[in-house]
A and B are shown apart, each in its own frame.
Chain A
Amino acid sequence: MHRSLNPCSLYMVQVQLLRETSGVQPHKLIFEKEGVYLHTNAKRSNQDTSIPGFIRIVERAGLPALEWSPLEDDGRNAPAVLYSKKDGDGGEEDTNFDPGYEPDWAVISTVKKEREHVPVKSSGQWAFSLPLSELYSLRRSRFSLGRNFLVLTSRGGHPLPPLHFHRGGTRELLRALQRYIILDPSPLDGRLFLAYPQDSGTLPQSFDRLQFLDDGGNDLVSRFIHDPYATTFGGFSKVTNFFRAALRPPESPIHTRTPQDPSLPPQPDEEPGFELITCGVELGPKPDVTRGQPLDKWEEFLDSEGRVTCKEKIKELVFRGGITHSLRKEIWKFLLGFYPWNSTAKEREDILRVKTDEYFRMKVQWKSVSEEQEMRNSLLRGYRSLIERDVNRTDRHNTFFSGNDNPGLTLLHDVLMTYCMYNFDLGYVQGMSDLLSPILFVTQNEVESFWCLTGFMELVHQNFEESQEAMKQQLLQLSILLKALDPELCDFLDSQDSGSLCFCFRWLLIWFKREFSFEDILTLWEVLWTRLPCENFHLLIACSILESQREELIGSNHDFNTILKHINELTMKLDLQSVLRGAEAIYLQLFLCKELPVMVKQVLGLYVPPSSEEESPDSQASETQRLLSQSQEGAAASNSACGPSCS
């Protein structure tokens, strides 16, 4: 049973009809990726243009083909260049295609004659369709910036213009291709793959041969195709129709939707191409949210031996109002996992003793490295040099770090160096000094700040990893949320080439450290450290800020550059309390929505597999009920009784 489409726009299903000139039969779209630029690279005509477009795998009459078409083409034109067997193209002129990047790559290309006479081609003329049976080889190269490009060669020896994947997706494409063909890495060159038909018997059908393409061991594409709901799309891209299809509620069957009966062929006079169909569910009104007063009691939450009697209650109060400054030093140690909530005062003394020893053991490790040793340890040398540079430019306006020879600077340096010994694989990465400085400022203690930093880093260390996969993932998750909340804003950002939300990078990397005042960051972080009311609440903070800027963004005719500039310049201009209220209201609004798309639920940790209960779990519901009631009570909440989870 599937839901009927209704016109209110929450998310969209993009339906694509592909046609050939010869007929109007729709073809089955297997894979599609936008942001694939075809580099014409024809040096002799002094043209070096790149044309944005789509790469697709399409089944035409049951035969799979790899196709590229330019963005503006909408897929409505048949490919201008149909690559076929060599003997069909006899007598054509040879042209050297210069891929421009790989000196070891040189293939002679055959291009249709008419192209030679037209030096400046319209981008549509570069569209191609290559039956997969005609694919001979594929070369995947990578720029240091992480952008990949592919060079395909047909069996007839035709190299196709290089395709640059500006928004990723080569891995997914290769995986999708594997449904039809075997791609065997060349023993001489790991980036070159030779294509074989799956039934050729030339090669064992080993899926593992491509495993090295896969960093995480996850078969993203096939999982995505077979179970789009349970898969978080790991790519970093604009929303493709796959992605949009995956946003449908789980009951919807997976098939393309057309305005008419999908079983009938489209009418010949109907405009083929993209069609946006809006459907979805309505979000209810935003609940009013009231913030509370900072938590200013502590002793009364401890039993006679010093155990915290009601950690859930404390977290709720912190979530609602933050912590009064004098208590931060104590409570942060619990929030950041240095002290277990159920530890006694005596146990905490022991923990502190053990952890102090452990800290100084690690500190001695880098302190005792001689200059000569360091000469032969480029990693440590690199970390140290970065730390020394960054310590001098971290929060120097704060009295704790201002002026020369401020002991705060030495603490910052030493704790960061010791963190390198604690996690040498990650080491020091820029941004980490931003995370430490508020902690050091609050704890005013080297050992405690170190262990609190490790607790914070448990939450965010992936942000700093070389691959940046976690950052890409978060930006994608943010776009999933924003799509559900404000499709119009999303569409606007997409239209300005800003759909990747990369202008939010700094926000997410260091949890808004550069966007708010130092004092506000203390509050924001302790709110986020409670991990309430859902997973990824920091993404809702981002949504809240974006929502507050939507009129300015959409109304002011911003482009890619000025969007970036506007967002950057919000720094120190945002009101934290209203941002927090907005984020919580968004959470409640999403939570109360009965038909929340599964991907949104997954981002927020609200997804319950269908095998168990259909509705959200009791624990989440009761927690939300508490939040709802508290948001109305506001400050009065601090006097209310403990919630159910505390009993």
Chain B
Amino acid sequence: CSMGSDDSYNFVFKVVLIGESGVGKSNLLSRFTKNEFAHDSRTTIGVEFSTRTVQIDNLTIKAQIWDTAGLERYRAITSAYYRGAVGALLVYDISKHLTYESAERWLKELYDHADPHIVVMLVGNKSDLDTLRTVPTDEARDFAEKKGLMFMETSALGSTNVEAAFSEVLTAIHKKVASREVTRGSISAVTLSSPLGPSSEAQEERKGCCRS
């Protein structure tokens, strides 16, 4: 999984960041797409997104990462948030147990609005605050396993596992697409098209698979 700047790509994967306010969603985004981190980055209002192009299995994948306010009321009006999402990072703060407790609620909202085939990873962020930890790693991992989620602890500040987290999610999405577990009727039609890209025919799954 490496940085790429070329505008041609085989797939666009839309991935959403969800979780309580202040858990570090925007910093995970800026770390992954711009390698930036700011302690005092502003609260997110409305919807923002950044993209980064990565290589997975010799395919060029444009990851479109959407970030939004943790506050539920502001998402109501920007309902396009979940539309077409094929991946989600459900983020909590390992030093704030309350943000972990709400994971179930976030999961419900996600499944209410997103494609049922969506790839979800539970992400315990701020692993650099290990001394203040209130969410044991094992507990979170067990929860993730029970819910069928991927799991990872990250630190946007320390740049730990950020790359790995996104990369694993994108790879898992690609596997789903390639294995045709996801049919054209649901995920692919919405998300694998890239009307702007030169390779808009890349929405043909077959072509994607055969290239690898």
Q: Give A contacts to B, CB under 8 Å.
A: 46-49, 100-101, 120, 143-147, 166, 236, 385-386, 389-390, 392-394, 396, 429-431, 433-434, 464-468, 471-472, 475, 497, 502-503, 505-506, 509-510, 514, 557, 559-562, 564-565, 568
Known: A144-B109, A386-B21, A430-B21. A471 touches B77 (CB 8 A): yes
A502 and B185 contacting across the interface, CB-CB below 8 Å: no
Q: Which of B39, B76, B189 is packed against the most chain A CB atoms within 10 Å?
A: B76
Q: Are A568 and B48 in contact (CB under 8 A)?
A: yes
Interface residues of B in 186-203 (CB under 8 A from A): 186, 189, 195-196
Task: Find B77's partner among A46, A389, A502 (CB 8 Å cutoff).
Answer: A502
Pick the residue among B42, B98, B109 that contacts A145 (CB under 8 A): B109
Residues of B within 8 A of A433 (CB): 43
29 pairs across A/B with beta carbons < 8 Å?
A47-B183, A49-B185, A144-B72, A144-B108, A145-B76, A145-B79, A145-B82, A145-B113, A146-B76, A385-B98, A389-B21, A393-B41, A394-B42, A394-B43, A429-B71, A430-B21, A430-B71, A430-B74, A464-B73, A468-B76, A472-B77, A497-B80, A502-B80, A505-B46, A505-B74, A510-B45, A561-B49, A565-B49, A568-B48
Q: Are A561 and B64 in contact (CB under 8 A)?
A: yes
Question: Which among B69, B71, B72, B77 has the greatest number of chain A C-beta atoms within 10 A?
Answer: B77
Q: Which residues of chain B are within 8 angstroms of A503 by Cβ–Cβ distance?
A: 46-47
Would you list which residues of chain B between 72 and 93 have a CB under 8 Å from chain A? Answer: 72-80, 82
| A393 proximity list for chain B (CB < 8 A) | 39-43
Contact A559 B195 (CB under 8 A): yes
- Closest chain B residue to A556 by CB distance? B196
User: Binding site of B, secondary structure by majority: helix, strand, loop or mixed?
Assistant: mixed
Closest to B194 in A: A559
Within 8 Å by CB of A48, from B76, B77, B113, B116, lies B116
Contact A557 B186 (CB under 8 A): no
Chain A residues closer than 8 Å to B72, beta-carbon distance: 144
**0/1 string, B32-45, CB within 8 A of A gives 1:** 00000001111101
Segment 167-212 of B: residues with Cβ below 8 Å from A? 183, 185-186, 189, 195-196
A268 to B42: give the CA distance in the assembly, Å. 61
Contacts of A510 on B, CB cut-off 8 Å? 45
10 closest cross-chain pairs (CB), A and B: A396-B40, A506-B46, A389-B22, A146-B76, A505-B46, A47-B185, A506-B45, A49-B185, A393-B40, A430-B71
Alpha-carbon separation in the docked complex, A172 to B148 (Å): 39
Closest-CB distance, A390 to chain B (whole angstroms): 6
Question: Are the CB atoms of B79 and A166 closer together than 8 Å?
Answer: yes
On whether the beta carbons of A48 and B40 are closer than 8 Å, the reply is: no
Contact A466:B73 (CB < 8 A) given known A145-B113, A386-B21, A396-B40: yes
Listed residue (B21, B40, B195) with the most chain A CB atoms within 10 angstroms of its CB? B40
A469 to chain B, nearest CB (A): 10
Residue of A nearest to B47 (CB): A564
Which of B's residues lie within 8 Å of A, judged by CB? 21-22, 39-43, 45-49, 64, 69, 71-80, 82, 98, 108-109, 112-113, 116, 183, 185-186, 189, 195-196
Set of chain A residues within 8 Å of B195, measured between Cβ atoms: 559
- Assess the B45–A514 pair: CB atoms within 8 A: yes
Contact B79 A430 (CB under 8 A): no
Complex interface: chain B residues within 8 A of A468 (CB) = 73-74, 76-77
Give which listed residue, A101, A392, A396, A430, contacts B69 with CB less than 8 A.
A430
Task: Note all chain B residues with C-beta closer than 8 A to A434.
Answer: 45
Q: A509 near B43 (CB under 8 angstroms)?
A: no
Contacts of A464 in B (CB 8 A): 73
Which of chain B's residues has its CB closest to A557's CB? B196
Task: List the B side residues contacting A394 at CB < 8 Å.
Answer: 42-43
A120, B22: Cα distance in complex, Å: 44
Across-interface contacts of B64 in A (CB, < 8 A) = 561
Cβ–Cβ contact A49 & B186, under 8 A: yes
Q: Assess whether A392 is in contact with B185, with CB atoms less than 8 Å apart.
A: no
Among residues of A, the one whose C-beta sits closest to the C-beta of B117 is A48
Q: How far is the CA of A338 from the CA of B10 in the complex (A)?
A: 59
Q: By the criterion CB–CB under 8 Å, are B196 and A430 in contact?
A: no
A147 to B112, CA, bound (A): 10
Report the minimal beta-carbon distance from A478 to chain B, rounded to whole angstroms. Answer: 13
CB nearest neighbor in B for A393? B40
Query: Chain B's nearest CB lies how many Å from the CB of A430?
Result: 5
Q: How far is the CA of A47 from the CA of B183 in the complex (A)?
A: 8
Q: Report how far A184 CA is from B78 CA in the complex, Å.
A: 32
Contacts of A467 in B (CB 8 A): 73
Q: Do the beta carbons of B78 and A502 come within 8 Å of each other?
A: yes
B43 surroundings in chain A (CB, below 8 A)? 389-390, 393-394, 430-431, 433
A401 closest partner in B (C-beta): B40
Q: Smallest CB-CB separation from A47: which chain B residue?
A: B185
